[in-house]
Structure 1
Amino acid sequence: MEPSRFLDCLAADFARLRAVATTDPTAAVPSCPGWSVADLTRHVGEVYLHKTLAIRHGAEPEPWPPAELATEEPLVLLDRAHAALLAEFAAHDPNDPAGSWYKPGQTVGFWIRRMAQETVIHRIDAELGVRAPVAPIPDDLAVDGVDELLRVFVEYSAVEWADYFNEILADSPGWTYALRTDGGAWSVRTGPGLFSVTDGVADTADVTVTGPPAALLRWAWGRELPGESSGVSVQGAPEALALLRRCIVTATS
């Protein structure tokens, strides 16, 4: 996806997130245990400001968030942070350098993609919190989101922060996973000290997950409600599936 496409998706999902967040700020967010919609709104604002400063100063600010943000009204913070983020994006070329925890992605373009994906997931959280219908997710954004989750979050984190994954991966005897959707397919291999992702799928795998792009994205990020009919088919060993889920949760926590 081109940066301009990510920005278009970010704009649409931000508008949806903000509209939904005003309906019931006190509602509990089932996909973010312990958070209300107001907490979610504040979190997104803090994330936007954090990335704004990472671009502006060339390094991610630490520590974060500053204490004064806790006293700002969540929607005011969200609007202020969103405006600052868009201004920073507009002031730079996507290839310009920016501070990032992801060593292969030290560019503004990395954050344009990341913030588009951050926003779509959190607008789903807001929708689930207020029991609003989940708005459609464009296929291209959903396919990219699954790819980003598997490669940028889990595969990279399993190497960069191996201590968090070694105990989990030690339980894998060499399980393989196939994830398929329209426009995307991934093979995942796990084993002691190993989480690798490649394009395409083998003929056989210990776990096979298939579904439409938006449904697969929600499944991968754990944004499904219990008992919800998502359209995702999951076949394979429960213990292998549980290990994959543990890796995803560890990488995204």
Structure 2
Amino acid sequence: MEIAEFIDALDRDGRLLADAAEQAGPDAQVPTCPDWRVRDLLAHIGMVHRWATRNVSERLTEFAPPRTGQEPGDADLTPWFRDGHRALVKALTEADPQVPYFTLLPAPSPLAFWARRQAHETAIHRVDAESALGKDLSPVGPALAADGLDELLAGFHSQDRSQVRTEEPRTLRLRATDAEVVWTVRLSDGVPRAEADDAGDADCELSGSVEELYLTLWNRLPLAGLRATGDPALAELWRERSAL
């Protein structure tokens, strides 16, 4: 996906998130994040958006922690989120793609990293807001879902902090039924190794639409929604240890 496409996705999902949160109300429970109410969700994503805006606008070259505790009271929380979301979309739209600054994962450019990361951050939390409202989830486009699997598997879970590990080598395969998307995740007592192929045998295979895989691997949909073959313990391992 191109940077402009990520920004468009961020813009769309941020608006949907705000609309759902406003309708649900700040005290509504978020089923996909059982410890959160909608106020916690808005405080979190509003903080993250402002943190991303600061990195892009100020061109920070070293990690600067997000500024927490700045959210207003319940009555002003959704407008506060909308303001931060609009500021992030504007900052990304106007940013110079050639300027270097801090990122968390390798990317073609810092701007490409932040546009991609915030598009997925917002898409996942939009699902949280809609789950709090109890409405049908707005769709995730197949291109964004496929890219999100790449970011999750080849990005975040290729880092030392990933806890998805096994005592003995095991292989988990993920196969989209509506797109040419297949991932093989080789697990061991070290960092998981994910490759976009279906080479070799797998101990467990999970299949579903690319959107279902994306949301399930981000623990927003139940594993039962995917078709599983082989050892179900590997799927449960992901559920238990993949939180970031």
Common topology (TM > 0.5): yes
- Residue in 1 aligned with 2:237? 243
SS, match of residue 124 in structure 1 = helix
Structure 1, unaligned runs of 5 or more: none
- Residue in 1 aligned with 2:207? 210
Q: Aligned partners of 1:75, 1:98: CA distance in 2, in Å?
A: 30
- Is residue 216–residue 222 contact of structure 2 (8 Å, CA) maintained in 1? no
Q: CA deviation at 1:59?
A: 4.1
More moved, 193-202 vs 100-109: 100-109
Q: Aligned partners of 2:199, 2:174: CA distance in 1, in Å?
A: 10
Deviation per CA, 1:199-253: give whole Å up to 9, x if none: 1112520110111111111111111258xx73x212222332233334421xx1x
Q: Aligned partners of 1:180, 1:61: CA distance in 2, in Å?
A: 35
Aligned residues: 239
Root-mean-square deviation (Å): 2.2
Q: Aligned partners of 1:67, 1:23: CA distance in 2, in Å?
A: 24
Q: Aligned partners of 1:94, 1:186: CA distance in 2, in Å?
A: 30
Q: CA deviation at 1:37?
A: 1.5
Q: CA deviation at 1:138?
A: 0.8
- Residue in 2 aligned with 1:68? 70
Q: Aligned partners of 1:104, 1:91: CA distance in 2, in Å?
A: 19
Q: CA deviation at 1:54?
A: 1.3
Residue 8 of structure 1 aligns with an amino acid whose one-letter code is: D
Assess, with a 3 A threshold, how the Cα gap between structure 1 residues 59 and 80 changes in structure 2: closer, same or farther: farther
- Residue in 2 aligned with 1:12? 12
- Is residue 142–residue 217 contact of structure 1 (8 Å, CA) maintained in 2? yes
Q: CA deviation at 1:7?
A: 1.5
Q: Does 1:222 align with 2:219?
A: yes
Q: Does 1:234 align with 2:190?
A: no
SS, match of residue 99 in structure 1 = coil
SS, match of residue 115 in structure 1 = helix
Residue 64 of structure 1 aligns with an amino acid whose one-letter code is: P
- Residue in 1 aligned with 2:110? 107
Q: 1:174 pairs with 169, 172, 183, which one?
A: 169
Q: Aligned partners of 1:131, 1:59: CA distance in 2, in Å?
A: 41
Residue 70 of structure 2 aligns with an amino acid whose one-letter code is: E
Q: Aligned partners of 1:74, 1:59: CA distance in 2, in Å?
A: 30
Residue 236 of structure 2 aligns with an amino acid whose one-letter code is: A
Q: Does 1:188 align with 2:202?
A: no
Structure 1: which 4+ aligned runs deviate by more than 6 Å?
none
Q: Aligned partners of 2:117, 2:4: CA distance in 1, in Å?
A: 13
- Residue in 2 aligned with 1:43? 44
Identity of aligned pairs, percent?
Answer: 29
Q: 1:200 pairs with 194, 197, 201, which one?
A: 197
Q: CA deviation at 1:56?
A: 2.4
Structure 2, unaligned runs of 5 or more: none
